[in-house]
Structure 1
């Protein structure tokens, strides 16, 4: 279609070709060929464009020979009939607006899953308003969409009496004033009823017919919608009902009873909110990395909210502002972090926590990013904290699709973002709990606070009773020195069970001399226990995982490793050629480039300060390689490499992961392929031994 659009522009003499059939193309076509049919002179090549486009749309375009024959004429008549514009554009010719519609990807036939009432309304809109300058043919596929929503708004503005120079498709003051003057009641007739019933149909109100008489049946359906949207139940097509059908915020002046905010609720602010009628407030469990402002719940704040008589619902968001953030591993990470914070603040099981999708996610991004993310959240919550309920904050389409997958139980809808494609053309989710409609300021002086005003459905009434706050994260401690002998014996026993004797190794059936024994490897773990514990705590990696590759790489160190390290030194001294600029080195046998990538990731995620380095820059590689010779730095880097490898495998290294995910992460430390998989299988046994003794140390 883009190519055919450019071809048409070329044939019309337009030099700045574009994928878009815009005003220039439309005006030029109107002036040169206002109606193309079998009698249009010199239209052979343009006829071929029409024939090709008809085939793309599923109609018979003839032989694509440039001849506007009977087959083409019949196809054009059928196309206009499907569009609903056969009366506005009679005959078998192609007019500019029909040509524009022909070159879109819009369907004009009922698609599977589409609604016949929706299609009837779409065809009627095309028929009634195609003569207006800014109105263009909308799809007639039975599906409500952004363009159909805008077309409906244009139609309402035309009925209000706006000229083509004034109507703009937005829900502005003029449109609102016109709607207020057209309240519908039982017995009302005419085009306004048509428009209102179309709006009801587009919002998915089952049982609504496309009619021009406001019947008692329609009134009952309106009452049902008003109850669903928490509007005054009047059964009338009044302003607030019109507004809720036409724009995601609805009437922004509506009274809200819920709010969300990034500001601490003090006693003065709680009093101001209560005085303004707010009963529930949403507050954040965590701050965002590298954020310059504090939004998380402060110590004592929940007690303030509770004593004021208000209730609270928790929100989890550290970023979530682009599709790249969302994946299964990040979902697991978010769930574990949310569980920790929920328990830290004392939120009881039964609490719904809302995970934020704070951007205009397109439908394919919901499929590819958001749904896998919430699957990660769900599996982790089910495994670690099944008592908590999963909610979602986001645009209408995102909320509805995640709920449709069974991955959430309540939606907190960001309807304030009226321009989001995920809000325009989508009805309010069936499971909505909070509907965010405007930002306002409440109170004065010490009680002054900016909030987002929310309408509450009653699905989630928030919490007003909490367990005593406590730190619930499992914190690894130093290994108990009294356990060294037992740990040594278990490690040796395990290593011998997988063919690793006290000294030496076999490699591809041949004996291989190693420089360190099993005993020396365990002694090294105890020697660097403080550094390993610190690294595990800083990067929130289970300590047992960090210990595994450090022991393994230290134990398997050979003369070949010393030769590789010396080769790197000689390379940067200018004495050796290519292929010697990096080697696995230090306690954890880490390549400099691997360390750079891992460190860059941790810096980007706010886990540590530092400067981003380039793994393709030789001076940066040499600088990092030298740093890795420091044993303490190498231990820290081993934890970073585990984190980066886990992210690469869509795994989050939180406490309570399935061992299969830990094994995947340990395998990635070694690389990819069969050897790495074997590496992960060997190290997962070490993990079990270390976890036994780390657990004993924690509990002593």
Structure 2
């Protein structure tokens, strides 16, 4: 909500420094909303008025020391000018306090607001009057809140105020937020407070959990009957970690001891009810005591027989290994042939990890999650993991809370849908920060968490408790064994939730399975497909020559090829999991995509011949009112009906239900069956076919499997004859003479993709043949 006084503050900055040069920032938007941009501009204005010419967004040491040296404190007796005072007044308004009339007068209203600011900060015992001091001025010129924000608690806020009041006079301690929320700054300040209590001098205390802090804490075990500041700090750390039934207290009570035992049991520490070093460490940093002995590990290197012996001798019984390598990288971390058996023979179970390019938010989306689920399923089957194994999908970067909402939760929704479409062979786990693990689990999207606690500086680990469903706690990279038995691993703590696998199915033969498309051949493939389509009367854009002269199609040939390659991972995984030729799925999908008709309904004898129009009719049938633009564009011409072919593969909802139900009966899918005679079920499936590209693509092969069953053909496989393949391409469109003619044209496209590309890429993958040699 816009605030008029904030708008006036923005206008003051623009009027006074609005040339875009003086402060080195553009003019502010006069929208009445506080932001970092506004606070940075105010900070630069303050620096400029103090004579600092190397202006900076940061209210750092130079700014504070200049205030201290020039003025000591800022009030009606020291403010050097009216403009200087108006900067202070503007900052107060941007912080939510009364700044007077922004008239350059440090009057009683301004002083009263500064005094209130100090009370909210918890430093009024140190700074009882209405004068700003260097450290409180720094706190004024930022976006930190000093009142409880949404998601914060009054208890945490009272601790933040207590810490500010107790330690503000120490050199390296600065005002922390008093917003009731545990954050990175609060954690660092907690460590500083502990270091101060350990007797570390200013300049030595640094807020880092280093050797001096560790040694000091080992000498400060607390137990029932202990009292004083150390108990206050310990109870605060328990509260920061969101432990229930804990009060901020200076007395180590029986109630606190019980809460400590619960915490220790949860994290698999020694359960003794005392604030010993391991308990302190687990409260202060995500990895806790990184010298703890784990029974689980994960690693990127092959576990050979010698290494397995070293690991078992060191007490490890559970290891995490990677299902795949990351395309385009040189790191070879994938499980090797025979490795799982080697681990099992040594007494070590394995849990699988799936990770590709999961190091930034841009990778994660619903559709990528669906594709990853298929790829992970196919890879796990290829290694022989049995049904029910849990795969941990990795998020290997410091994600923000906003990114969890916008990218990661949708991604895991996609993973869960993809796992269902792939037959729900495996369970879903997550590898990520504490916050990401907890939030994804809260959505019911992961049954166990592998927590990246080793990354203690990640904001997703700072101030967040361990997920309730944690299975693996990753704490430190170490080396185990020597000589041939030496291996570098991440030492992990196991909660017992994850048992991994120690027996495996015989991996299926991979010799003739389709593989990923080599994208370097995209241009050539596009040219060849364009040439073939032109040869059968289908130009780069527009309809085939046999269509109406005014006809129009939605997508060009090159667009369809690009679409096919963008989804190559899903096409490949479907083909490998279902043991059929990828080209059969590709051709059925992109042929329909290329023929998506958007001819004007006025030019068509049958309105339903316009694919978008047909979709709109079905959408209105199930959604009376509040229709989207793509429906309402057809006005009153729509005649609602309950089903039509839709989406990439142009599949009817009723037929998709029948095909997917049949796949469930075959054990290829694990999902609730739908009733093709019920409108509610038709809509459920039709909506997904229309809006969810991966769902539509994944339904295409089940349509082929159904057609083979209905027409007495062998189920499509790796050795299907050309005759059967052409028949399946025909039945995809129907059992009519026209469908038969179209199937012959589709068969030409099938042969082009299969013979010129897919089969050659299989040779490259499986036999090391150069594709350029044919």
Instruction: Give deviations 1:55-94, integer Å, cap 9, x for gaps.
Output: 1121222211111222222221211111101001111111
Return the offset for 1:285. 0.6
Equivalent residue in structure 2 for 1:556, among 537, 544, 566: 537
Kindly tell me: are residues 536 and 297 of structure 1, through their superposed partners in 2, closer, same or farther at Cα, counting changes over 3 Å?
Answer: closer
User: Does residue 643 of structure 1 match 2:565?
Assistant: yes
CA distance in 1, matches of 2:455, 2:157: 27
Matching residue of 1:229: 267
2:574 alignment partner, SS class: coil
Matching residue of 1:445: 483
Kindly tell me: are residues 203 and 553 of structure 1, through their superposed partners in 2, closer, same or farther at Cα, counting changes over 3 Å?
Answer: farther
Higher alpha-carbon deviation: 382-391 or 282-291: 382-391
CA distance in 2, matches of 1:299, 1:25: 62
Q: Is the 8 Å Cα contact of residues 539 and 640 (structure 1) preserved in structure 2?
A: no
Matching residue of 2:64: 26
Return the offset for 1:282. 0.5
Return the offset for 1:539. 11
CA distance in 1, matches of 2:235, 2:485: 44
Q: Is the 8 Å Cα contact of residues 378 and 573 (structure 2) preserved in structure 1?
A: no
Matching residue of 2:118: 80
User: Does residue 258 of structure 1 match 2:296?
Assistant: yes
User: Does residue 167 of structure 1 match 2:205?
Assistant: yes
2:188 alignment partner, SS class: helix
Return the offset for 1:368. 2.5
Return the offset for 1:681. 5.5
1:50 alignment partner, SS class: helix
Q: Is the 8 Å Cα contact of residues 353 and 394 (structure 2) preserved in structure 1?
A: yes
Matching residue of 1:569: none
User: Does residue 655 of structure 1 match 2:620?
Assistant: no
1:177 alignment partner, SS class: helix
2:203 alignment partner, SS class: coil
Matching residue of 1:124: 162
User: Does residue 375 of structure 1 match 2:294?
Assistant: no
Q: Is the 8 Å Cα contact of residues 474 and 655 (structure 1) preserved in structure 2?
A: no
CA distance in 1, matches of 2:345, 2:264: 33
Cα RMSD over matched residues?
Answer: 3.6
Return the offset for 1:41. 4.5
Q: Is the 8 Å Cα contact of residues 535 and 639 (structure 1) preserved in structure 2?
A: no
2:113 alignment partner, SS class: helix
Instruction: Give deviations 1:77-114, integer Å, cap 9, x for gaps.
Output: 21111110100111111111111111111111112321
1:438 alignment partner, SS class: strand
Return the offset for 1:641. 4.8
Equivalent residue in structure 1 for 2:253, among 215, 229, 235: 215
User: Does residue 51 of structure 1 match 2:16?
Assistant: no
CA distance in 2, matches of 1:664, 1:30: 71
CA distance in 2, matches of 1:558, 1:141: 63
Return the offset for 1:642. 2.0
Matching residue of 2:642: none
Instruction: Give deviations 1:268-295, integer Å, cap 9, x for gaps.
Output: 2111111111010001111111232321
Q: Is the 8 Å Cα contact of residues 597 and 612 (structure 2) preserved in structure 1?
A: no
**What TM-score comes out, normalization by structure 2 length?**
0.67
Matching residue of 2:100: 62
Instruction: Give deviations 1:520-573, integer Å, cap 9, x for gaps.
Output: xxxxxxxxxxxxxx99799999xxx99999876553346999xxxxxxxxxxxx
Q: Which blocks of at least 5 consecutive residues in structure 2 are unaligned?
A: 1-38, 543-554, 578-583, 601-609, 614-644, 652-699, 709-713, 721-774
- Within a 5 Å distance, the mapping from 1:532-543 to structure 2 comes to none
Matching residue of 2:36: none
- Within a 5 Å distance, the mapping from 1:357-372 to structure 2 comes to 357-372=395-410
CA distance in 2, matches of 1:21, 1:537: 52
Higher alpha-carbon deviation: 1-10 or 363-372: 363-372
CA distance in 1, matches of 2:92, 2:540: 72
- Within a 5 Å distance, the mapping from 1:1-20 to structure 2 comes to 1-20=39-58
The count of residues paired between Structure 1 and Structure 2 equals 565
Instruction: Give deviations 1:647-667, integer Å, cap 9, x for gaps.
Output: 9xx98775299x999999778
CA distance in 2, matches of 1:81, 1:236: 35
Q: Is the 8 Å Cα contact of residues 8 and 46 (structure 1) preserved in structure 2?
A: yes
Q: Is the 8 Å Cα contact of residues 440 and 450 (structure 1) preserved in structure 2?
A: yes
CA distance in 2, matches of 1:456, 1:8: 53
Q: Is the 8 Å Cα contact of residues 651 and 661 (structure 1) preserved in structure 2?
A: no
- Within a 5 Å distance, the mapping from 1:295-334 to structure 2 comes to 295-334=333-372
- Within a 5 Å distance, the mapping from 1:503-652 to structure 2 comes to 554-557=535-538, 639-644=561-566, 646=567
Kindly tell me: are residues 557 and 6 of structure 1, through their superposed partners in 2, closer, same or farther at Cα, counting changes over 3 Å?
Answer: same
User: Does residue 340 of structure 1 match 2:321?
Assistant: no
CA distance in 1, matches of 2:599, 2:75: 66
**What TM-score comes out, normalization by structure 1 length?**
0.74
User: Does residue 684 of structure 1 match 2:655?
Assistant: no
Matching residue of 1:632: none
Equivalent residue in structure 1 for 2:149, among 77, 95, 111: 111
Q: Is the 8 Å Cα contact of residues 590 and 648 (structure 2) preserved in structure 1?
A: no
1:655 alignment partner, SS class: helix
Return the offset for 1:426. 2.1
Q: Is the 8 Å Cα contact of residues 194 and 233 (structure 2) preserved in structure 1?
A: yes
Higher alpha-carbon deviation: 463-472 or 322-331: 463-472
Matching residue of 2:240: 202
Q: Is the 8 Å Cα contact of residues 667 and 677 (structure 1) preserved in structure 2?
A: no
Matching residue of 1:391: 429
Return the offset for 1:699. 6.8
Matching residue of 2:470: 432
1:304 alignment partner, SS class: helix
CA distance in 1, matches of 2:599, 2:131: 65
Higher alpha-carbon deviation: 404-413 or 197-206: 404-413
CA distance in 2, matches of 1:73, 1:672: 71
